[in-house]
C-alpha cells in the first residue's frame, strides 16, 4: 500500500541519506587524497609540472567521488523506517528491465 509523502517521512529518508552521504564524502576525500598524493609524488618525481599533476589527479578524484556517491543510496534502499520501508517497485509487470 502506498503511503502519503509527508514532511516527517521525507525528513526520515533525508536524514538517513544525509549522514551516510557525509561519511561517504569523508571516505572519498581520504581515498582521493591518498591516491592523489601518491600520483602527485610519482608524477613530480618524473618531472611533471604542477599543472600536469592537477590535470591528471583532478579527474581521478572526480571519478572516485562519483563512484562512492552511490553507496549512501544503496544503503538506504530497503531500509526499514518504522512505519514504512524504502523499496523499489516495478512500475509495470510487462516490462522486462
pLDDT for residue 24: 94
End-to-end CA distance of the chain: 23
Whole-structure pTM value:
0.75
- Please, what is the angle between helix 7-45 and helix 50-76, to 10°? 150
In which band, very low, low, confident or very high, does the pLDDT at 95 lie, cut at 50, 70 and 90?
low
| Range list of H helices, the chain | 7-45, 50-76
DSSP 8-state class, residue 94: T
At residue 1, the pLDDT reads: 81
**Residue-wise pLDDT tens digits, 19-75:** 999 999 999 999 999 999 999 999 999 999 989 999 999 999 899 989 999 999 999
Residue 84: pLDDT band (50, 70, 90) is very high
Query: Which cell numbers hold the place of 51?
Result: 599543472
Amino acid at each position: 500500500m502506498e503511503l502519503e509523502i509527508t514532511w516527517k517521512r521525507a525528513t526520515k529518508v533525508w536524514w538517513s541519506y544525509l549522514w551516510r552521504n557525509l561519511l561517504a564524502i569523508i571516505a572519498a576525500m581520504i581515498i582521493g587524497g591518498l591516491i592523489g598524493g601518491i600520483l602527485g609524488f610519482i608524477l613530480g618525481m618524473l618531472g611533471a609540472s604542477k599543472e600536469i599533476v592537477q590535470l591528471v589527479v583532478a579527474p581521478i578524484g572526480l571519478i572516485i567521488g562519483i563512484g562512492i556517491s552511490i553507496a549512501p543510496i544503496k544503503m538506504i534502499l530497503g531500509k526499514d523506517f518504522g512505519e514504512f520501508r524504502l523499496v523499489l517497485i516495478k512500475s509495470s509487470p510487462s516490462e522486462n528491465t
